[in-house]
Structure 1
Amino acid sequence: MESAQKHKLAGWGNYPVAESYTVNPRNEEDARGDLNKGRVIARGLGRSYGDQAVNEDQFVAVCTKLNHFLKWNEQEGILECEAGVSLEEIILTFGPKGWLPMICPGTKFVTIGGAIANDIHGKAHHIDGSFVNCVLSFTILLADGTIAEASRTENADLFWANFGGLGLLGVILTARLKLRRVETTYFKQKSIKIKNLDHMLEALEQYDHDYNYSVAWIDALAKGPKLGGGVLTLGNAAKLSELPENLKSNPLKLHATSRLTVPFFLPSFVLNGLTVRMLNKVIAFVQNSPKEFVHYEKFFFPLDAINNWNRGYGKRGFIQYQFVIPEDNGKKNLTEILEMIAASGCTPFLNVFKRMGEGQGILSFPFKGYTLAIDFPVTKNLLSFTPKLDAKVLSAGGRLYLGKDALLHESTFKAMYPQYEQWMAIKRKYDPGNRFTSNISRRLGLEIA
Structure 2
Amino acid sequence: MSTNKQFVAGWGNYPMVESIVLHPENEMDTKKAIQTACIIARGLGRSYGDQAINSKGYTAVCTRMNHMIAFDEGTGVLECEGGTSLEEIIRTFAPSGWFPMICPGTKFVTIAGAIANDIHGKAHHHDGSFVNSVISFNIMLAGGEVVTASRTENEDLFWGNFGGLGLLGIITSAKIRLRKISTTYFKQRSIVINNLDEMLVALDENDKIYNYSVAWIDPLAKGKKLGSGVLTVGNAATLDDLPAKYKDEQLKIHQPNKLGVPFFLPNFTLNELTASMLNRVIAFVQNSPKEFVHYEKFFFPLDAIHNWNRGYGRRGFIQYQFVIPETGGRDVLILILEKIAASGCSPFLNVFKKMGEGQGILSFPFKGYTLAIDFPVTSKLSAFIAQLDEIILKAGGRIYLGKDAMLHKEVFQAMYPQYKEWLQIKSKYDPSNVFTSDISRRLGLYN
| Alpha-carbon spacing, 1:290–1:261, altered in 2? closer, same or farther (3 Å) | closer
**Which position in structure 2 is the counterpart of 1:149?**
148
Preserved contact between residue 12 and residue 46 of structure 1 (Cα < 8 Å): yes
- CA–CA distance in structure 2, aligned partners of residues 165 and 18 of structure 1: 21
**Which position in structure 2 is the counterpart of 1:224?**
223
**Which position in structure 1 is the counterpart of 2:436?**
437
CA RMSD across the alignment: 0.6
- CA–CA distance in structure 1, aligned partners of residues 255 and 143 of structure 2: 43
**Which position in structure 2 is the counterpart of 1:421?**
420
What are the ranges of 5 or more consecutive residues in structure 1 without an aligned counterpart?
none
Structure 1, 294-303 or 269-278: larger mean CA deviation: 269-278
**Which position in structure 2 is the counterpart of 1:102?**
101
After superposition, where does 1:14-53 map in structure 2 within 5 Å?
Answer: 14-53=13-52
Q: TM-score, normalised by structure 1?
A: 0.99
Which residue identity lines up with residue 16 of structure 1 in the other structure?
Answer: P
Q: Secondary structure at the match of 1:20?
A: strand
**Which position in structure 2 is the counterpart of 1:196?**
195
Q: TM-score, normalised by structure 2?
A: 0.99
**Which position in structure 1 is the counterpart of 2:304?**
305
**1:330-375 superposed Cα distances (whole Å, 9 cap, x missing partner):** 1000000101111111111111101000001000000000000000
- CA–CA distance in structure 2, aligned partners of residues 444 and 228 of structure 1: 32
**Which position in structure 1 is the counterpart of 2:330?**
331
After superposition, where does 1:356-371 map in structure 2 within 5 Å?
Answer: 356-371=355-370
After superposition, where does 1:162-311 map in structure 2 within 5 Å?
Answer: 162-311=161-310
**Which position in structure 2 is the counterpart of 1:65?**
64
**1:10-31 superposed Cα distances (whole Å, 9 cap, x missing partner):** 0000000111111111111000
State the 1:290 CA deviation.
4.4
After superposition, where does 1:74-113 map in structure 2 within 5 Å?
Answer: 74-113=73-112
State the 1:289 CA deviation.
2.0
Q: Secondary structure at the match of 2:306?
A: coil
Preserved contact between residue 345 and residue 381 of structure 1 (Cα < 8 Å): no
Aligned-pair identity in percent equals 68
Q: Secondary structure at the match of 1:304?
A: helix
Which residue identity lines up with residue 216 of structure 2 in the other structure?
Answer: W
Preserved contact between residue 164 and residue 362 of structure 2 (Cα < 8 Å): yes
Preserved contact between residue 6 and residue 20 of structure 1 (Cα < 8 Å): yes
Q: Secondary structure at the match of 2:337?
A: helix
Residue correspondences, number: 447
Q: Does 1:345 align with 2:350?
A: no
- CA–CA distance in structure 2, aligned partners of residues 332 and 190 of structure 1: 28
- CA–CA distance in structure 1, aligned partners of residues 443 and 241 of structure 2: 49
**Which position in structure 2 is the counterpart of 1:121?**
120
Which residue identity lines up with residue 41 of structure 1 in the other structure?
Answer: I
Preserved contact between residue 100 and residue 179 of structure 2 (Cα < 8 Å): yes
